[in-house]
Amino acid sequence: MASVQSSTERYYVGVDVGTASVRAALVTCDGQVKDMAEEPIHIWEPHPDHYVQSSSDIWTKCCSTVRKVTQGIENIKVKGIGFDATCSLVVLDHRFKPVAVNCDGVCERNVVMWMDHRAAEQAARITDTGHRVLRGVGGVMSPEMQPPKLLWLKENLKESCWKEAAHFFDLPDFLSWKATGSLARSLCTLVCKWTYSPPEGWDNTFWTSIGLEDLLENNYSKIGALTCNPGTAVGKGLTQEAAAEMGLLPGTAVAASLIDAHAGGLGVIGADVTGFHLPCEHQPLTSRLAMICGTSSCHMAISQDPIFVPGVWGPYRSAMVPALWLNEGGQSATGRLIDHMVRGHAAFPELKEKAERSEESVYSYLNKHLEAMAKDPANLDQLTTSLHVWPDFHGNRSPLADPTLKGMVREERICLTLLVVGLSLSQTLDDLALLYLATVQAIALGTRHILEAMKEAGHCITTLFLCGGLSKNALFVQMHANATGLPVVLPAEKEAVLVGAAILGACASFDYRSIPEAMEKMAKVGRVVKPNLEQDNFYRRKFRVFLRLFAHQRECVLLMQE
């Protein structure tokens, strides 16, 4: 192991490709973010439920953000780089040129985004096969995974895309290939989104059973023949071309990548909690759950042995922490849902004006407005005693694994009738604040629903570790502590996903011997938010209502289909 005594002399770059932007950070060996840069990336919606991006646009923004964060230091001090990204699908031809993934024929738009649900029907057909690989994804194939997206491309764009395609990458693997020229794929992406199962590997009978047997050709060259653990040094480091684009040295270590949520998990879950009086202190990492909350939310639980949780993805071996098993719950719309509910309300213009006048965000203003409405902040939760929301406007990823709920958001009247109970005709700022609170509580109850499914299957989780954009919202954090009854740990560095990506770079440089060692040294506890246990009975009742809302919604949908 190389010396890492001076945090000012050795740096790692973490690159995070999110839904709408690319971010890069320069991180020290003790986990301090010294500089950060962000660039927006394009999203196109050529058809309903089709969301596409450009891999060229994404790579250009990766390079420009890295140049920005490293421009003030000697490039020899940058020892490693790690990438994370959304689990989107990148399509390239035999010359590694982009292939269009929509009938519009624009080749540069060659990325099927993670949130693209065009393949819902293909996902349902794959689920109906009952193949054994489905046991590793909670029994249900999600349209957010790659097999249904691949099947959609073959069935709908056979001539223009499928026959032209020579390489299908998960976006995180595309980035490591672009940086190094190596076709090695991370076990994180292949295991979590492609049904790969180490040590056995690909299951030929699965691909054949769903009509994608052509992917078996040439030793799986189109989807990945070489695999490695996240954090493993890939190829020979940065190529001459990539190094020139980034302003770094050729040969700088590049790590096998992670999906963005998993990088967030690395950035928080392994922190040293000594002295914070948490129930997970002196307990293994398996007592912790990492929750990465932004546009959507992911719930990461790890275990020594495989645990199968109905409706929850996994168990995945070595998908986040080598040699440990990962279960991944999730909510497909969280930050996106809150924005939809708030910005679509009649009182939003009034809220926006008042927030701007107060020089604060609309959510900070709403949080203070709710405190004023409650008079006693300790009882703020109970403002929604008679107002309840079912939050799965973009399908339920976990633990119900029901993607068919997605359509309700488009028909506002149906949406409000089916998904919101207790809504009045009033359109005041108070009503907007209450709807916002009820939506945040519903998302927190969704987390409780996932936790209960995990607990019933054998997990023993005592502490939540939050990161991501929504973890900066004090109300969101407190409602999660209250609704679950568990303490919430927030990271010292708010950009924990970037720290997680940098941890990969640190491992690839061999400055740390393992991911657990790097997590302990680089992930830091910022503060702890404790649950208000006086609200326990309130949330017990509200959770019962929450579960009844689902049953009521399904009944209404069936009636509409008669």
Do both 92 and 159 map to the same domain?
Answer: yes
As a whole number of angstroms, the distance between CA 226 and CA 219 comes to 10
Do both 205 and 312 map to the same domain?
Answer: no
Do both 307 and 407 map to the same domain?
Answer: yes
Do both 183 and 98 map to the same domain?
Answer: yes
Does 268 map to a domain? Answer: no
Kindly list the distances between the CA atom of residue 290 and the CA atoms of 231, 264, 482, 519, in Å, as whole numbers in the listed order.
Answer: 19, 8, 17, 13
Radius of gyration of the chain (CA): 23
As a whole number of angstroms, the distance between CA 492 and CA 525 comes to 5
The per-residue pLDDT for 330 is: 86
The per-residue pLDDT for 139 is: 84
- Phi and psi for 12 in degrees, rounded to 5? -130, 145
Element (H, E) at 438: helix 429-457
Q: What is the CATH number of the domain that holds 544?
A: 1.20.58.2240
Q: Which two tokens stand for residue 398?
A: 């976990």
Does 90 map to a domain? Answer: yes
Domain of residue 146 covers 11-256
Do both 369 and 436 map to the same domain?
Answer: yes
Does 444 map to a domain? Answer: yes
The per-residue pLDDT for 403 is: 57
The per-residue pLDDT for 394 is: 55
The per-residue pLDDT for 291 is: 95
Do both 244 and 286 map to the same domain?
Answer: no
Instruction: Determine contact, residues 206/133, Cβ cutoff 8 Å.
Output: yes
Query: Domain boundary residue among 256, 290, 325?
Result: 256
Per-residue pLDDT of the chain (562 residues; tens, 9 = 90+): 444 544 458 999 999 999 999 999 999 999 999 999 999 999 999 999 899 999 999 999 999 999 999 998 999 999 999 999 999 999 999 999 999 999 999 999 999 999 999 999 999 999 999 999 998 887 889 899 999 999 999 999 999 999 999 999 999 999 999 999 999 999 999 999 999 998 899 999 999 999 999 999 999 999 999 999 999 999 999 999 999 999 999 999 999 999 998 999 999 999 999 999 999 999 999 999 999 998 889 999 999 999 999 888 889 998 999 889 999 998 878 998 999 999 999 999 999 999 999 999 999 999 999 999 998 988 999 999 989 888 766 566 556 656 554 323 222 333 333 356 555 656 899 999 999 999 999 999 999 999 999 999 999 999 999 998 899 999 999 999 999 999 999 999 999 999 999 999 999 999 999 999 999 999 999 999 999 999 999 999 999 988 887 766 666 555 555 5
Does 492 map to a domain? Answer: no
Does 119 map to a domain? Answer: yes
Q: What is the CATH number of the domain that holds 218?
A: 3.30.420.40
Do both 37 and 126 map to the same domain?
Answer: yes
Query: How many Cβ atoms sit within 10 Å of the Cβ of residue 216?
Result: 15
Do both 207 and 311 map to the same domain?
Answer: no
The per-residue pLDDT for 237 is: 98
Do both 310 and 356 map to the same domain?
Answer: yes
Does 273 map to a domain? Answer: no
Beta bridge partners of 85: 17, 259
DSSP 8-class letter at 525: E
Best CA proximity match to 187, nearest among 20, 333, 323: 323
The per-residue pLDDT for 417 is: 34
The per-residue pLDDT for 422 is: 55
Peptide bond into 403 cis (omega under 30): no
Do both 247 and 294 map to the same domain?
Answer: no
The per-residue pLDDT for 555 is: 64
Does 122 map to a domain? Answer: yes
Count of domains for the chain:
2
Does 338 map to a domain? Answer: yes
Do both 300 and 421 map to the same domain?
Answer: yes
- What b/e string do you get for 513-525 counting C-beta neighbours within 10 Å, with b at 16 or more? eebbbbbbbbbbb
Do both 198 and 336 map to the same domain?
Answer: no
Instruction: Determine contact, residues 407/396, Cβ cutoff 8 Å.
Output: no
The per-residue pLDDT for 423 is: 56
The per-residue pLDDT for 25 is: 98
The per-residue pLDDT for 427 is: 86
DSSP string, 464-520: EEEESGGGG-HHHHHHHHHHHT--EEEESSS-HHHHHHHHHHHHHTTSSSSHHHHHH
The per-residue pLDDT for 12 is: 98
